[in-house]
Amino acid sequence: MPISLVKKTRMRTTTKCVVLVALVSLCLLFIRMLNKPDKVVGIWNRGAPEDILQNTLLQPSEKLAHIPLKWKDDILQLLPKNSCKCEVEPTMDIPFRKELFGKPFAVNFTSSLDPSLLDKTYKIREKEYQKFKMRSHHPMDKLIIAKANSPLEYPIQGVEVQPLKTILIPGLSLQDTLRKVYKVSLSSTIGTFDTVAEVEGVTVKGIGEKHITLSSPHMDNLNRQLQLITYTNTAFHPNTADTVQFQTNEHTAMFNIKVRHPTMPKLYNPGSIDSSYNISALVTIATKTFLRYDKLQNLIDSIRKSYPTVKIIIADDSETPQKVEGPFIEQYIMPFGKGWFAGRNLAVSQVSTKYFLWVDDDFIFGPRTNIEKLVDVLEKTTLDLVGGAVREVTGYYTTYRQKINVMPGGKTGDCLMTQQGYHHLIEGFPNCVVTDGVVNFFLARTEKVLEVGFDPKLSRTGHLEFFIDGLGKLHVGSCDNVIVEHASKIHLSWSKTEVDKQYDKFRYPKSSDHSKNIKHHLYYFKNRLQCMTGN
């Protein structure tokens, strides 16, 4: 073949390749644009919980203020108040009282605090507590009263009682047409009713029982009595609800009273009260290593350039562990080959800060690995976990954003669907989105991740499985402006060390059927799934 013809053929081939690459790139860009939501959503939209004091509920409206009543002190004492005191109640001095009932005690926790730091500690604690209340409060907890369209008026939601405690039921009222006698009743299944006061002109039957009836020839008097109805939970079940039936002659309404303990806060000291972030007090860096101590040391060295005092926790299941030393480093030795997710569980279980940053042992911190940016996202939104981006040696950036959806499937199990992408942008953070799964480099709320955990059956491979387990529990985001570098995985066969070969033997087994079968069994049995689709 003539040289000129060869050159032309090569030029044509090169041109076709260039055009093909350009077309593929344009197609990918077009598909991405089609799948890219334009919506920007603020995700700190939970209102602060209302502090509904029982004392305010006892105040009558102007219309009912003139109606005479007689208070019942013994029932008043049962209602919750914002005035608890840690004092030893006086008891009778009987023989062997200490042996039978124990020695009474009262401890004031502030006495052990440095008086000079007490005010600062209180301010920091209250600031964190307000954030906790914003995060733990659910819109379904808001008290809503259904107006008397039926003609019954009652609380739709937001009524809550502690186990075996007493509350005043808010919002009960009757707005009926003219009658000779007005009559209503309340029925429950795991509680009893009483009145905190006796209203003149109202007959009450069923005091202290599960069914109570109130009647009066005067509707205003009846409504004043309804404002003073108490409910006492009688069955200790700290996470249930009692469905109360509220009836008049021709109408029936039902509402729930939640029975549960108040959510106990677990607050973390951020280290400062001002707007700046003390990363050493807020964040612990966690990782899992297996044999690759050279890469682990590179990771540690890169971290220390920017964060010299941040604690690093290492879970290590190497056969012959090497001691990793240095300030603010904790190394935990596991049984040999215990596995990937087991190591994650161990590392996160030892975190004592509000957040932890998960990194692989072959990552390297660079100039754009800015933990402060991820902290800012979690501090100012309802997200529980936010991923960054990983830059490969090739220059490619990955965020591994996954949308996860479960479709009901009946008796055979549900269908899991995964799709690359995200749900919407986050208001105030132009580089961040809300999604369901992120890359293996993320900052997370310690308590929320501990609620989900990592399945230790996934010993060699696993990542998406954690986010599937966390679906409905974790609010996940991703930001592409916080980037960690990934050490090269390219090793020529003749340049591999014995450690590299041993690592590859465990990390990339010749037959992956066993690992695949384990995953499939977990999906099928644990997650009750029959199949999975994705892209």
Q: Looking at the domain assignment, is residue 307 inside a domain? A: yes
Q: How far is residue 271's CA from residue 128's CA, in Å, rounded to a whole number? A: 11
254 shares its domain with 391: no
Q: Looking at the domain assignment, is residue 5 inside a domain? A: no
Q: How far is residue 154's CA from residue 148's CA, in Å, rounded to a whole number? A: 8
pLDDT at 526: 87
pLDDT at 55: 58
Distances, alpha carbon 265 to alpha carbons 85, 94, 261, 262, in Å: 19, 38, 12, 9
3-state helix, strand, coil in the chain (%, to 5): 30, 25, 40
246 shares its domain with 294: no
Tally of domains in the chain: 2
């102007």: which residue's tokens? 62
Q: Is 51 left (phi over 0), alpha (psi -120 to 50) or beta?
A: beta
Q: What percent of the chain has pLDDT over 70?
A: 81
- Which of 260, 294, 326 marks a domain boundary? 260
Quick one: average pLDDT of 167-177? 94
pLDDT at 42: 79
The answer to which of 20-24, 158-162, 163-167, 448-452 has the lowest mean pLDDT is 20-24
User: What value does the mean pLDDT of the chain take?
Assistant: 85
Task: Express each pLDDT in 403-457 by its tens digit.
Answer: 999 988 888 889 999 999 999 999 999 999 999 999 999 999 999 999 999 999 8
pLDDT at 31: 44
Domain that holds residue 167: 54-81+139-260
pLDDT at 188: 95
Which of 109-118, 361-370, 500-509 has the highest average model confidence (pLDDT)?
Answer: 361-370
Q: What is the DSSP string of 398-439?
A: E---EEEEEE--GGG-EEEEEEES-SEEETTEEEEEEESB--
237 shares its domain with 356: no
- Which of 260, 289, 309 marks a domain boundary? 260
At 222, which CATH number?
Answer: 2.60.40
pLDDT at 438: 97
Q: Looking at the domain assignment, is residue 325 inside a domain? A: yes
Q: How far is residue 352's CA from residue 283's CA, in Å, rounded to a whole number? A: 9
pLDDT reading at 500 higher than 80: no
Q: Looking at the domain assignment, is residue 110 inside a domain? A: no
452 shares its domain with 492: yes
Do 291 and 502 meet the contact criterion of CB atoms below 8 Å apart?
yes
198 shares its domain with 283: no
Task: Express each pLDDT in 115-161 by its tens digit.
Answer: 878 888 888 888 888 877 777 777 677 777 777 678 999 998 999 99
Q: What is the DSSP string of 293-352?
A: HHHHHHHHHHHHHH-TTS-EEEEE--SSPPP---TTEEEEE-STT--HHHHHHHHHHT--
Do 519 and 428 meet the contact criterion of CB atoms below 8 Å apart?
no
Task: Express each pLDDT in 174-233 by its tens digit.
Answer: 999 889 999 999 999 999 999 999 999 999 999 999 999 999 999 999 999 999 999 999
254 shares its domain with 294: no
Q: Looking at the domain assignment, is residue 31 inside a domain? A: no
Task: Express each pLDDT in 68-89 by its tens digit.
Answer: 888 888 888 888 776 666 777 7
Element housing 138 (H / E): none
Phi, psi of 387 (to 5 degrees): -90, 160
pLDDT at 17: 47
Task: Express each pLDDT in 87-103 by its tens digit.
Answer: 777 766 777 666 666 77
Q: How far is residue 469's CA from residue 257's CA, in Å, rounded to a whole number? A: 30
Q: Looking at the domain assignment, is residue 187 inside a domain? A: yes
Q: Looking at the domain assignment, is residue 20 inside a domain? A: no
3-class secondary structure for 282-298? HEEEEEEECCCHHHHHH
Which of 35-49, 180-194, 392-406, 501-515 has the highest average model confidence (pLDDT)?
Answer: 180-194
Helices (H) and strands (E) in the chain, counts: 14, 29
Confidence of residue 498 (pLDDT cuts 50, 70, 90): low
222 shares its domain with 149: yes
246 shares its domain with 286: no
Q: Looking at the domain assignment, is residue 242 inside a domain? A: yes
Q: How far is residue 36's CA from residue 455's CA, in Å, rounded to a whole number? A: 32
pLDDT at 12: 55
473 shares its domain with 346: yes
The answer to which of 7-16, 466-475, 521-530 has the lowest mean pLDDT is 7-16
Residues with Cβ within 8 Å of residue 179, at least 6 apart in sequence: 219
Q: In 3D, which of 360, 502, 493, 378 has the Cα closest to residue 429?
A: 378
pLDDT at 460: 76
- Which of 208, 230, 260 marks a domain boundary? 260
pLDDT at 30: 47
pLDDT reading at 19 higher than 50: no
pTM (two decimals): 0.78
517 shares its domain with 379: yes
pLDDT at 97: 66
482 shares its domain with 388: yes
245 shares its domain with 365: no
At 506, which CATH number?
Answer: 3.90.550.10
Quick one: average pLDDT of 315-322? 93
pLDDT at 52: 53
